[in-house]
Amino acid sequence: MSYPKDVFSRMYSGLSKADDGLLYPKEEEQDVDLQEVDETLQTNIFNTMLSRRSQRKFEDKQVEDSKVEMIFAAADTAPTAGGFQGFEIYHVKDPEIKLKLVDASNKQPYVNAPAVLVFCMNPERIKMNFPPNIIKKFSLQDATLAAAYSQLAAHALGLSSIWIGMIDEEKVMAALGTSYLPSSILCLGYPQKMLQPKPKRSLIGLIHEV
């Protein structure tokens, strides 16, 4: 796969299988269901948010490249400090690296999922005149928002996910071979069964007017 700079603007730029195809340049044997893409883009965001549930048990089934691409596109739309996108995404495909991430995540076995995305901070991308600690905070927020948008997009695409925040940052960095500090790992796949959302806090207790 290759990754154009502005994904959504190119989604309907052409219907051929050449480099100006529907999502990203496709291999000759890959097809994209236009109706499925249309339905996805018209998904009610409130239904998506209300029905999402963390899932730790995935089917032994690979996630289609076209869906992974749309998840990346969603991450690309997330708001960031100054629009500088101070984050990086690592799409982990190597089985050995996945096992290293399991070890780096307090040995949580479901980190070895069909699709694994690691969201990292890259404060050097944020060209703003603020102290380093503020820039670092911006970068952490950028990476977190990108992961959140990705998680909602995954659910809208019929996938389930589990957000991993308990990580040994040094071990994750060593596994990825990167100097970027990881903020979270998002594990994705097709659920073995759909789970019902858990009750949430009452808005009366959640909202504080001052």
Predicted TM-score of the model (pTM): 0.79
Residue 4 CB coordination number (10 Å): 18
| Chain segment 87-137, per-residue pLDDT in tens | 999 999 999 999 999 999 999 999 999 999 999 999 999 999 999 999 999
pLDDT of residue 4 exceeding 80, the answer is no
Mean pLDDT in residue range 132-151:
97
Tokens describing residue 189: 């796949």
